[in-house]
Structure 1
C-alpha cells in the first residue's frame, strides 16, 4: 500500500517523565513500528507532553527540569518533540483536554488531517478499570475518538483485560496492542530511588539526562 494512502497519525504520550527514561523513548519506536506494519497508518510525529506541576504526584520535580530533560532525551530524534503546553497551564489538565488541544493545534497547522492516538503502557490501560479514576465521557473520547496504542510486555494479556471491560470492549477496534518482546522493566520510580542511594543509572536513561540530573543535584531527597 502506498504511503500516501495511509492515515496520518501523531502519537502523544502524556505523563510525569520524572525523569524520562530509555523505555519512554522505546514506546514511541515500538508503537510506530506496530502502526506501520498494519499498512494502514503513517506515523508523522510524536509528542512528549509532561504533566503540570499541579498534578501533585509525590516526588514530582518542577516542570522546568522535566521539560529540559525531555528535550535533551529527544534531541537526536527526527520525529519526536517535546511540547510544554501542559506544563505552562495554571492547573492540571485532564488527558482528554490535552489531546483535544493538540488535535486542534496540529490540524490548524497541517495541510492535511492528522489523527492523534494516545501512546501508553499497559498500566494506563488497566487504570480504566479503577472506579472513579476516569470520567466515563473522557474514557469514551480517548478510546473511541482518538484511540490508544498500548505497549505491553511479554506475558501480559491486554486482550483479556479489554474483553472484560465493557467500556474498552465497545471501542476495541480503536485500541492497538504493541508488544515489547525484549524484556525491559525500567521505572522512573526505581531510577529516582537508585539516584538517592547513589547507585548507577547509566544506560537506563539517556546520557544527557543523567548529566543534567547530576549538574542540578536532582532526586537527592
Structure 2
C-alpha cells in the first residue's frame, strides 16, 4: 500500500514553509510522495484577493518543480464549492483504493479539528500528521502523529502584505514564483 501525504491550503502564494513542512514529513514518515492540494473555497477562511485558481496552481507548479516526490492534487479545484476534507478524502479513496493517506496540518488546524466537517468519520479514514506552528497548541483528542519541523513564523498573508508594500520576499518564496508574481502583477496594492 502506498503512503501519500496530503498538504492542503490556499497556497496564495506557496512559500518555503509549505515546502519545508512537506519535505520533513515525507522524510520522517517515509512517505512515497506528498501532494499539495490547493482548495477552491476553504470552509474556515474567506478566499483572499483576486488571484485566480489558475494563478495559484501555476505558482504551485513552479514552487514544486524539480522535487521528485512532490505533486499537485487538484481535485478540490475541479470540484469547486466549499472544500470539505471529508468529501475530498472519500473521492480520493474511491479513485485510489491502494493508498494510505496522511493529512498534514499545522498546529493552527490542530486546534480547529473539533470544528471540521464530519471530523469523527474523517479521523477513521486518514492519519492526521501535525506540525508545530509558533503561537498555537498541538494538543487534541484526535489521533495525530506529530512531526518535528523547523519552526518559523511565515504565512501567505504575511507575504501578500510584504508584496503589496514593496518589501522583499527573497528566500520566503521560490524565485520562479517571485518572477511569476511580478510578470502577472499579482498582489499589487
Do both share a fold (TM > 0.5)?
yes
1:150 equivalent to 2:134? Answer no
Deviation of 1:101 after TM superposition, in Å, equals 1.7
For residues 39 and 174 of structure 2, the distance between their equivalents in structure 1, rounded to whole angstroms, comes to 20
**Is the contact between residue 13 and residue 120 of structure 1 (CA under 8 Å) also seen in structure 2?**
yes
For residues 84 and 135 of structure 2, the distance between their equivalents in structure 1, rounded to whole angstroms, comes to 30
Higher-Rg structure is: 1
Deviation of 1:34 after TM superposition, in Å, equals 2.2
Q: Which residue of 2 aligns with 1:178?
A: 147
Structure whose residues are more often helix by fraction: 1
Deviation of 1:204 after TM superposition, in Å, equals 0.3
Q: Residues 131-170 of structure 1: matches in 2 within 5 Å?
A: 133-135=115-117, 138-153=118-133, 157-158=137-138, 161-162=139-140, 165=141, 168=142
Deviation of 1:202 after TM superposition, in Å, equals 1.0
SS of structure 2 residue aligned to 1:184: coil
What is the root-mean-square deviation in Å for CA atoms of aligned residues?
2.1
For residues 42 and 131 of structure 2, the distance between their equivalents in structure 1, rounded to whole angstroms, comes to 27
1:204 equivalent to 2:189? Answer no
1:114 equivalent to 2:96? Answer no
Q: 1:45 to 1:188 in 2, by over 3 A?
A: same
Give the TM-score, by structure 1 length.
0.77
TM-superposition CA deviations, 1:178-201 (whole Å, max 9, x none): 112x33111101000000000000
Q: 1:29 to 1:60 in 2, by over 3 A?
A: farther
1:84 equivalent to 2:74? Answer yes
Q: Which residue of 2 aligns with 1:40?
A: none
**Is the contact between residue 111 and residue 136 of structure 2 (CA under 8 Å) also seen in structure 1?**
no
SS of structure 2 residue aligned to 1:52: coil
| Residue in structure 2 matching 1:125, options 98, 105, 110 | 110
| Residue in structure 2 matching 1:31, options 22, 25, 28 | 25
For residues 103 and 149 of structure 1, the distance between their equivalents in structure 2, rounded to whole angstroms, comes to 18
Extract unaligned runs of 5+ from structure 1.
1-6, 37-42, 108-112
Extract unaligned runs of 5+ from structure 2.
none
Q: Residues 47-126 of structure 1: matches in 2 within 5 Å?
A: 47-52=35-40, 56-59=46-49, 61-107=51-97, 113-126=98-111
Q: Which runs of 4+ in 1 moved over 6 A?
A: none
